[in-house]
Each structure stands twice: as structure tokens, then as C-alpha cells.
Amino acid sequence: MSTTTAGAVPERAESAWGTFRRGLALSPELRTGLAGTLGLALVSMVGRAAVPVAIQQGIDRGLRAPGGPDLGVVGVVVAATAAVLVLTTICGYLMMRRLFTVSETALAGVRVRAFRHVHDLSMLHQQAERRGSLVSRVTSDVDQITQFLQWGGVILLINLGQVVVTTVVMAVYSWQLTLVVFGAFIPALAVIRIFQKRLAAAYGVVRQRLGAMLAAVSESVVGAPVIRAYGVAGRTAERLDRTIDAQRRAQQRAIRTSVISFSTGEIAAGLALAGVVVLGVRLGVDGTLGIGELTAFLFLVTLFIQPVQIATEVLNEAQNAVAGWRRVLDVLDVAPDVADPGEQGVDLPAGPIDIRFADVGYGYPGGPPVLVDVTVDIPAKTRVAVVGETGSGKTTFAKLLTRLMDPSAGAVLLSGVPLDRVRFGSLRSRVVMVPQDGFLFDSTVAENVRFGRPELTDDELALAFTELGLGDWVEGLPFGLATPVGERGEALSVGERQLVALARAYVADPDLLVLDEATSAVDPATEVRLQRTLDAVTRGRTTVAIAHRLSTAQAADEVIVVDRGRIVQRGPHEELVSDPQSVYGLLYASWLEQTR
């Protein structure tokens, strides 16, 4: 299938700053009180330099005051610094409180918007193989941003500030010594950058191996019956062990790189301290530097090292967070190709719906045409069956009819209105499709049937099942309507899931009902019974049934035969079977062979 790349969310190569600007444009609420928050952050950063300054002042003006140690001065210095510390602590609290409230609120908004956006994307974007990655857009990608903000973001902000503030204070005390410190750190930073890149690659491998391991675990869990039935637990265990150990090895490689990177900073710190002592003593001897200043400088070097080391580590997380943010924004930037016309749209006229396909063509992006020049009129209130071999294009017909996709050529009209002009609110309440895979939510039978009509009471639901002739089946369930259906409905058999899906569509009370092989896993007797009741309850509405059992076609007012993307035959069953060499004639012959 060529669709593996078609409709994929494009990955952008973009700078972190570009992502940041795009993100800010999308969540203007992030700007709320930003100036105040930054102001508070600045105050709490200045507090970081308070202690070394206090030590310098205490030593030079107090302990080593020209007239002998002056305890009064030390007292004043300590009291003033303590006041500064209390103030910066309060500012730190206020800053974090504002930051978290604003950012979490904005990100929750982004999360919800992305969720809705994914639902608004067409079937093409929602294909099964990409669902996992779509889920991660509204879960782990956003989590990555919030977790970074909670742990790394504040640390990064404060530490970068601390680097700036200590640099300024250091430069004030001695520009020469500041150069020594930078002389030790700049080469170290270059080395750290190289290792950070390797580290990012190493963590990339870790994530990849984690994915492989989870796939293996999931295979061993989902495939448990096969593994047991074929007695291949030993082989499965070996495969699991291989992926588990591969991930462990990748993790161990990553941590080795990380430690080397981190120790570079430590060695640079040692070099800086040693250099400061050697040069500082010379400067002191020359009289350009006091003892207090030199001592304060040693403290400042430590205050400079820690944030640089921490910041380089956190920067890694920052890159992940920015990448996560970018992925979320990229999803939001994908324009829904099957969009709700909204205000500009119109509602479907009241009453039964007629269908018109005018020169409709469809092909998946990059693939061969699936439907070609389909022109067909289906009058209101008729029951039509669409039949054809697997891959003939009959399911595409249903998807175009319900506007899950838009045709690449021509137009689909319902009651004379072009489908892309119909408001979704009107379309989805009047036109309902029952897909082959009757997906159920992890809740009860009743809740699932109520999905389209939350206001229905249990009595009304029970009545609906009775009308469909499924009352017996419901009574046979362990807890009746309250029976839990399990994850994806897996507590029910495939056929039973289809019964619930059918009831769900039935209570939605549509004017056009589209059934896409909706009863393919139901036993023949039940199917025939359903067919009869459906005939009765859908009288007065238009029904289009995509059928793989020809019993459905036999019961329909009219049969449309699709072959290799074109409509090749049309008419009532009796008429079509009269030519045994026609496409339908052959399909019917093979059907009879199976069932008689």
C-alpha cells in the first residue's frame, strides 16, 4: 500500500526559536503576566550572588577592617544579606507559582485543541498505523513539555540567570580572573557540546530500543493464544530477552556518554579554581585585589560551575521538550482536508434523502484510482445494496457517501446539496454509517448504544433492541444492557459487537443509513432476522448497504455492482441474475456454491 507515507504529518526542520514563536502565537495566554514573572525571576537570580558579596564585604570591611575586626559591620552585612535572601525566596515562590499556573493552563489548552484537531482530520490522517503517534501528540509530547517546565525549565531559567549574575559580579571584582574562569570553561563547553550531541544520539537509540521492546512485549501479550497453542514460549522468551537486553545496553552506553560529558565540567572547575589561585595571588601581591575579593571569587567560581553543569544537562531535556512542542504544533498546522463548512454551510433539507454521484473519481494520494467516473442516482427511500469483489471500490463508495473522504474528481450530492457544503452538525445527525469493525468503548452495552443519543433512557434502549428483534440476545447477556463490553468491546464476540454497533446507529434515527458490511460476522439466521427487521424499521428512509453476503443484495430494491472502480451493473436482483455471465451473475453463482 502506498498510503504508508500519504497523509503523514510533515516533520519540520525548524529552530527552537521558530518553534517557540509558533507556539507563542498559538497560545497567546502564555504571555499573561510574563513581564511580572520575568521581573520576579530576575530578583531571585540576583539573590544568588548575595552570599559571595556578603563574604567579601564581611571579610574586607569587617574582619579585616583597617582598625581590627569590626563585628558591627559584619552584623550589618549579615542582616542586610539575610533580608535580601528572604525577599528573593518570596520572589522565587511567586515566580514559580505564576509560571506553573500560566504554562500548565496554556498547555492544557493546547492538549485539548490538538485532541479535537485529530478528530477533525480525515480518515487518511487517522489510519491505524499512525494512531499511536497521534495519541502521543496529546499525551507524551505534551507531557514532555510540562515535565520539562516543572523540572528543567525553572532550573534552566534560574541557572542561566545565575551564570549571568555571577559573571557580572566576578567581572566587577576582577576582569583578569574572570578571563581565567572563561579560559577554563569555554574549551570545556566545546567538549560538552560534542558529547551532548552524542548523548542526544545515544538517547535516540534508547527510545528506539524501548519501542522495539514494547512491541515485543505487546506481541507476547496479544499473541498469547498462538504462543501457547504452538508451544513456542521458549522462542518468544528469547526474543523478549534480546530486546530487553538491547535496550539495557543502549541505556548503559548513554549513561557512559553522559558521565564523560558531566566530568568535563568538573575538570574545568578544578582548572578554573587552580588558575584563580595562581593568578589571584599574583594580583593580590600587586595590590589590585583584596583577600576578601579573592575569597569571594573562589565562592563565585563554584556558583558559576554548578549552573553551567546543570544547564548543559537541562538543555538536553529542553531539546526534547522543544521537539515535542514542535510535533504538537505540526499536527495543529495540518489543515483538515475534509473540513466542516461551518457558518458558510447549509443544513440538509428535511425529509427523506436522495443521493447523486456526479462523475465521481477517487484515488489515495500516490496510489492508483480506486473509483472512476461513478455517476449514479439513488432516489429517496430506496434500499440499495452495493456489491463487488474485495478491492473493487465499494467501501470507498461508502466513505465518499458519508464524507469521510472527499472525491478527487466530481461531486457527491445529498438531496441536491453538494456534500462539502453540508454542515457537519446536520450531516452527522441525518447520515449515519455502521462500519464493519463495530468499535465499542470500554463501558456497558447501554452506554455504547447511547453514544449518539445520550438522552435515551434504559427503557428506550431496551425497546430499540426489541424492535430490532434482539431482545432475546440482550436478555441472554450476563447483566443485560448493563453488561460491560470490555476494552474495544472484546468481552463480546465479533458478531455481538456488530449487533451493538447496529443498535447504536439505529437509535441515532438517521434519514440515510449506510451499512458497510455491518453484519459480516453474524450467523446467517441472525443476519436474515436482522435483515427483515431492518427492512421494516428503515422503511421511509434511504439505506445503502455495502454487502459481502449476497442475501443482502437479494433483499434490496436495487443492486449496484462495482468492479475495478466502476459501476458495471445496476438493477433489481432478479434482473441482474438473468445474465449468468455478468459480474453479478458470477458473484451469485459463487454465493450459491457456498450456501447450498
Rounded to whole angstroms, the Cα distance separating 562 from 568 reads 6
Stretch that binds another protein, among 194-202, 289-297, 350-358, 411-419 (CB under 8 A): 289-297
Q: Which three cell numbers stand for residue 494?
A: 465479533
Q: How far is the CB of 359 from another protein (least distance, A)?
A: 25
590 binds another protein, rule: CB under 8 A: yes
Q: Which of 412, 313, 405, 311 is nearest to 367 (CA)?
A: 405
Work out which of 200, 318, 411, 491 binds another protein, going by CB under 8 A: 491
Nearer to another protein among residue 275 and residue 379 (C-beta): 275
Could you tell me which stretch among 353-361, 375-383, 447-455, 562-570 binds another protein (CB under 8 A)? 447-455
The correct pick among 295, 319, 408, 582 for binding another protein (CB under 8 A) is: 295
**Does the footprint of another protein cover residue 245 (CB under 8 A)?**
yes
Residue 18 CB, shortest distance to another protein, in Å, is 26
Smallest distance, Å, CB 307 to another protein? 11
DSSP structure class, residue 33: T
How many residues bind another protein, per CB under 8 A? 183
User: Among the candidate windows 26-34, 358-366, 518-526, 562-570, which touches another protein by CB under 8 A?
Assistant: 518-526
Q: Which is nearer to another protein, 14 or 557 (CB)?
A: 557
How is residue 236 written as a grid cell? 518468544
Among the candidate windows 103-111, 348-356, 411-419, 581-589, which touches another protein by CB under 8 A?
103-111
Q: How far is the CB of 118 from another protein (least distance, A)?
A: 6
- Environment class of residue 529 by beta-carbon count within 10 Å: exposed (0-12), middle (13-18) or buried (19+)? middle
Q: Would you state the cell numbers that stand for residue 399, as one nine-digit string?
A: 466513505
Nearest approach, Cβ of 193 to another protein (angstroms)?
19
161 binds another protein (CB under 8 A): no
Q: Please compute, for residue 70, the number of CA atoms within 13 A of its CA located in the half-sphere on the CB side.
A: 14
> Which one, 310 or 567, has the nearer CB to another protein?
310
C-alpha distances in Å from residue 101, one per residue of 29, 158, 472:
11, 18, 54
The CB-of-74 to another protein minimum distance in angstroms stands at 4
Q: What is the CA radius of gyration of the chain?
A: 35
Whose Cβ is closer to another protein: residue 111's or residue 356's?
Answer: 111
Report how far apart, in Å, the C-alpha atoms of 286 and of each of 275, 279, 594 are: 17, 11, 106
Taken in order 36, 38, 40, 46, is the CA torsion positive or negative? Answer: negative
Contact in structure between 522 and 495 (CB atoms under 8 Å): yes
**From residue 42 to residue 61, what is the string marking binding to another protein with x (rule CB under 8 A)?**
--x--x--xx--xx--xx--
Shortest CB 205 distance to another protein, Å: 14
* Distance of closest approach, residue 395 Cβ to another protein, in angstroms: 12
Angstrom distance (rounded) from CA 63 to CA 60: 6
Measured distance CA(562)–CA(357) in Å, rounded: 14
* List 177, 386, 499, 559, residue binding another protein (CB under 8 A): 499
Order of strands across the sheet that contains 558-563: 431-434, 512-516, 542-546, 383-387, 558-563, 566-571
Residue 136 or 582: the one with the smaller Cβ distance to another protein is: 136
End-to-end CA distance of the chain: 36
Which residue in 11, 129, 333, 579 binds another protein (CB under 8 A)? Answer: 129
Give yes or no for residue 306 binding another protein (CB under 8 A): yes
Tell me which residues in 400-419 interact with another protein (CB under 8 A): 402, 404
Instruction: Tally Cβ neighbours within 10 Å of residue 46.
Output: 19
- For residues 9-28, which are near another protein according to CB under 8 A? none
Asked whether 318 and 156 are in contact (CB, 8 A), the reply is: yes
Q: Does 420 bind another protein (CB under 8 A)?
A: no
Rounded distance between C-alpha atoms, residue 184 and residue 271, angstroms: 6
Site for another protein, residues 335 to 374, rule: CB under 8 A: none
Q: How far is the CB of 544 from another protein (least distance, A)?
A: 13
Pick the closest to residue 543 from 428, 410, 398 (CA basis): 398
Of 201 and 224, the one with the shorter C-beta distance to another protein is 224
What DSSP line would sit under 131-192, residue for residue?
A: HHHHHHHHTHHHHHHHHIIIIIIHHHHHHHHHHHHHHHHHHHH-HHHHHHHHHHHHHHHHHH
The CB-of-272 to another protein minimum distance in angstroms stands at 9
Q: Shortest approach of another protein to residue 15 CB, angstroms?
A: 27
Report 200-239 residues binding another protein (CB under 8 A).
Answer: 210, 213-215, 217-233, 235-237
| Binders of another protein in range 254-283 (CB under 8 A) | 255-256, 258-259, 262-263, 266-267, 269-271, 273-275, 277-278, 280-282
* Interface segment toward another protein; rule CB under 8 A; list 9-17, 29-37, 95-103, 411-419: 95-103
Stretch that binds another protein, among 16-24, 312-320, 411-419, 504-512 (CB under 8 A): 504-512
Position 67 contacts another protein (CB under 8 A): no
> CA torsion 318→145→331→19, rounded to 10°?
-40
